Structures are given as structure tokens and as C-alpha cells.
Structure 1
């Protein structure tokens, strides 16, 4: 198509990825007004509206979605090819965008990333925290972090951390005024701190003992969408909270939280770094996957 340049398409792709002129402009190193002008020129050349924009939102039109779906992978392949040339000089560089839920980002991903950057200073890593399940490919991420059970079968997954176990906790002061539950069903009669997923669904707490599996829909005066906040609320005496063992082990050890129903708390497979199967992996992603696998080897018993 006449007069449509790679720079035009790069500007459009940044807008499509971020759904924000401000964030896209930050990536491109220009002003939002300059980016808006570039988009208008591209739309005029194509004689199609690509983006619907209001003062509050940016959304792709059908034409914009189709262009994003076709051009986005092609530009990623170009970036990957250029990054791969650095390996000929013995240098790993490039950018990595990784999506992860907050608790996994804090407990597992960030410690590995900081060690990785110490070895590969030429790589830039962006971690985007999002507790909702997202399509990492369509949203422009190189990789994601999730529990193994939630990862699509067409993705390649690498263990990022050990198995996870849940923990049901409350403050000692809370149990001064409420009985300690000895079965999961007794939680229905106690004030609990609800967890709401990014999808809007309330989490029904899951339990398992001796092959018996239970799911309990709890109730209480407080609902939160983040397990770190649930731990804070439990510390403040707001109710019984659901979290992961690693999040609360120090609080339990120093007596600020009390665990209950420990023999009913199941283990999960742990979190995984996952990425799409691609013929040519970006050099930075390949180096990070290798680093994670080596890190797993160091943590595993001989």
C-alpha cells in the first residue's frame, strides 16, 4: 500500500498493544499528540479507521484488530531476527515483556529476573502485574507466569518455583472472639475475607484430605482481589483469610498469624513460565528460559 512505512505500522502497533496513547508514546519516545497525528495519517492513507478513541478509552476497530493480528507477529519476527544477530557477537540484548499475577511476580518471578539482569545487563525486562488470565500473544507479551493447571496446552511451560500450598490464617486476636474451625464446612459460620478473581468470580476455597475434596463458598464483610491484601487484612483482624504458605510463613513463625485447617490445605503444582512455541525464539527470551532452567537445577536436591 502506497506511503505506508514501517514507522507508521510501529506507531500503530504500540497503540494497539498498550490501548493507551500515553503509554505507547512512552515506548516510542515521543509525545501522545505526535503519536495521535501519526495514527491519523495512517488511517487517511488506508482510508480506514483503525482505532476508536474517547477521552477515557482506546479500542481497536475490526480493521484495527485484523491489522494488529497480521502485522504484530511479523514485526516480532523482525525484532527477534535482529536480536538474534547479537548472539554472533556474544551479546544478549533486547526487551522482554512478562505478564504475571501479583503474588507470583513478587515471590517467584522478580527474584529470578533480578539475578538474570545481573548476568545479562543488555536485556530490558518489563513485568506487568495482572491477576486476570490474559492472552499473552495478542497482548504483546513474550511470556507469562501462571499455575500449571491454567496454562493452555499449546504453550511451552518451564517450572519457575516449587510446589505451592495454601494456608488458612487469622490473627490471634480474631480467635480470642471466634472459635477455630476444625472442618472446612465450619468456615461458613465465620467471617472470612473473600477473594475475587479478575473475571469477577468469587473464589470458593478448595480443600483436600485423604482423597476427599471440598469446595467452600465463604462469606464475610470484606472482599479483596489480591492475596497480599488479604494477608494484611488478616493481620489487622478483619477475618479468616486464604493465602499461600510462602506469603504467611514469617507471620506464622512470629505469632502474628495463626494457621487453621492445615491438614486440609492442598499442594498445587507450582507456577510456570510459559511462552508460545515459535520457530525462532527471541535471543533475550531464549537466554531467560535457559537461566530459569539452570536456576531450577540449582534449587533441586542432588
Structure 2
């Protein structure tokens, strides 16, 4: 590989991250034709195709994905070094890219981001809300937020926000025609608003009491993949929903949703901010981690 290919490698990573030449052009501040020329020249230099191109999308080939896996840490280190060299005094500058599920964004992260950017006016946070499990290294993210059991072992994890708790709720109108369940076994006689993960799997409701755990595969005619819509369906009387307590607490207090099986919904460890171990970390990322560590748990 020629040394002149280094800028093209960065452009290739940007195209892969945005999934289009046009998106990469906007991010890099150059023309679409310049982006296309750089990638084509890189492929010719390497001797293999890096991207599969269609009229609607651009995606890495198998060789392209392997290159990205090794390339992302190197590009991140270069970016860290350049940004670190540009730091002056105690001014924190730069952009942090985060991959975050919607529930974590709403319940714990957004207030932290607002406080962080207010304190460090030269810093910015680019938060991508996505419920699928994303490879943050291949996606060139600085960090992600997930539950502890979803984390890879080679990641550094920092607790973010308080312990979480789930809630089973339905509308008063729903309970006019359905009995109140006393145990999770009684849910067999109820209608559930089901949740589908980004990968396609349906979520089985999880319960625990006094050390005994069980799951229930709910049945019902409505399946959704958005937390807000799921709660809206419950408010409309379509069935029971399994939600985070923080998402429905106001509705419970207002009486528009009724909580059941509360003794089967024990608190559990909440979300974690996770990031790859690097010897060199940008000051803006260190400052954000400090913000997370100092937040109420």
C-alpha cells in the first residue's frame, strides 16, 4: 500500500459509516465525485473491492469489513493524537460519537449530555439512537450504552444512571374486561403488546421474585419495535405492556395506566457506558467519562 492511500482509507471508513457516498461527502466537506474517486483509487491500489454498490445503498464487502475492523482503532488513535495536540489550556473540544438504545437515551443519557455540553462549550456529542447491538469499533463510535449482560469482555464499562426496574401496565379500560393477574402464569389469559428487537427476535417478558426467575412469551395481535408506541398502545387499551418504570411512572400516578405484578419486578443493575481500552484517549472523552462517573447512581 502506498503512503498516499492513507487519506483514502479515512474516506473509505467514512463511506462505510454513512452507508453512502453522498453522506460521506457531506461529512468530509468534499464532492461526491472526489469521494468516489478516492475509494476507487484505493481499491485499485489494494487489488480488491472494498464496497458493494447498488443504486440504493453502499455496504462493505467481506474484505472491506475485515479492513474496517483493523482500521477503526488506528484511525481513532490518529484522531485522538491530532485532537489532543490541539487542546489549549483546560479547554475541552471535540465531538464524541455514541451508540445508544432509545430507552437509555430517554432515561439516563440525555440529561448527562445536556449537562456535559453546557459545562464544556467547545465539546459536542453525536448520539445515534439504535436498539440493535452495534460494533462500536467498526462503526467508529467512541462509546456505547447497553446493559451489562450485553457487553463484550474486552470493553471497559462504567455504570451510568441508577438501577432500573420494569413495570407491567395496562389501561383502566383494559382491566374492565380482563382480571388482574396475580402471578406471571396468569398472563396466559391476557393480551400483550409485543416488542420486536432490531435483529428480529421477539422479547419474552422477564420476571424475578425471591431468587426465582421466569420468562413469559406473551401473545397478542400487535407487535411494535418502538418504546413510545408500545406505551401509546397500552394507553389506548390495546393490552398489557412490559416497560421501564421510568417510562410509565407519570401515567401510573395520573391513573391512565394501572400497574400489576409489581412484586415480580425487582430492581436490577442499569445501563453501562462502555468503550474500548486505549492507551491514548482524547481529553473530551476523558471529560465525558468523568461526567458519567460523577453523576448520581
Task: Pick the TM interval, shorter chain.
Answer: over 0.9
In the alignment, what sits opposite 1:238? Answer: 238
Question: How far has the Cα of 1:148 moved from its partner?
Answer: 1.6
Residues 159-206 of structure 1 deviation map (CA, whole Å, 9 limit, x = unaligned): 111010000001111111211111111111111101111221111111
Change in CA separation of 1:210 and 1:69 when aligned onto 2, cut-off 3 Å: closer
User: Any conservation in 2 of the 1:4–1:45 contact (CA below 8 Å)?
Assistant: no
Number of positions where the alignment pairs a residue of Structure 1 with one of Structure 2: 297
Q: How does 1:31-110 map to 2 (within 5 A)?
A: 31-110=31-110
Question: How far has the Cα of 1:88 moved from its partner?
Answer: 4.6
Q: How does 1:99-138 map to 2 (within 5 A)?
A: 99-138=99-138
In the alignment, what sits opposite 2:151? Answer: 151
In the alignment, what sits opposite 1:201? Answer: 201
Change in CA separation of 1:31 and 1:177 when aligned onto 2, cut-off 3 Å: farther
Question: How far has the Cα of 1:155 moved from its partner?
Answer: 1.1
Question: How far has the Cα of 1:87 moved from its partner?
Answer: 3.9
User: Any conservation in 1 of the 2:205–2:217 contact (CA below 8 Å)?
Assistant: yes
User: Any conservation in 2 of the 1:165–1:268 contact (CA below 8 Å)?
Assistant: yes
Change in CA separation of 1:3 and 1:244 when aligned onto 2, cut-off 3 Å: closer
The separation in 2 between residues aligned to 1:107 and 1:198, in whole angstroms, is 20
Q: CA RMSD in A?
A: 1.7
1:271 aligned to 2:275?
Answer: no
Change in CA separation of 1:255 and 1:46 when aligned onto 2, cut-off 3 Å: same
The separation in 1 between residues aligned to 2:12 and 2:251, in whole angstroms, is 48
Change in CA separation of 1:149 and 1:66 when aligned onto 2, cut-off 3 Å: closer
User: Any conservation in 1 of the 2:168–2:262 contact (CA below 8 Å)?
Assistant: yes
Residues 207-226 of structure 1 deviation map (CA, whole Å, 9 limit, x = unaligned): 11122211111100101112
User: Any conservation in 2 of the 1:4–1:42 contact (CA below 8 Å)?
Assistant: no
In the alignment, what sits opposite 1:220? Answer: 220
Secondary structure of the corresponding residue to residue 165 of structure 2: strand
The separation in 1 between residues aligned to 2:24 and 2:13, in whole angstroms, is 9
Change in CA separation of 1:247 and 1:37 when aligned onto 2, cut-off 3 Å: same
User: Any conservation in 1 of the 2:69–2:137 contact (CA below 8 Å)?
Assistant: no
Change in CA separation of 1:2 and 1:136 when aligned onto 2, cut-off 3 Å: closer
The separation in 2 between residues aligned to 1:282 and 1:209, in whole angstroms, is 44
TM normalised by structure 1 equals: 0.93
The separation in 1 between residues aligned to 2:188 and 2:32, in whole angstroms, is 51
Moved more, 231-240 or 66-75: 66-75
In the alignment, what sits opposite 1:16? Answer: 16
Question: How far has the Cα of 1:3 moved from its partner?
Answer: 6.8
TM normalised by structure 2 equals: 0.94
The separation in 2 between residues aligned to 1:180 and 1:292, in whole angstroms, is 40
User: Any conservation in 1 of the 2:164–2:268 contact (CA below 8 Å)?
Assistant: yes
Residues 73-100 of structure 1 deviation map (CA, whole Å, 9 limit, x = unaligned): 2221111012222445322111211001
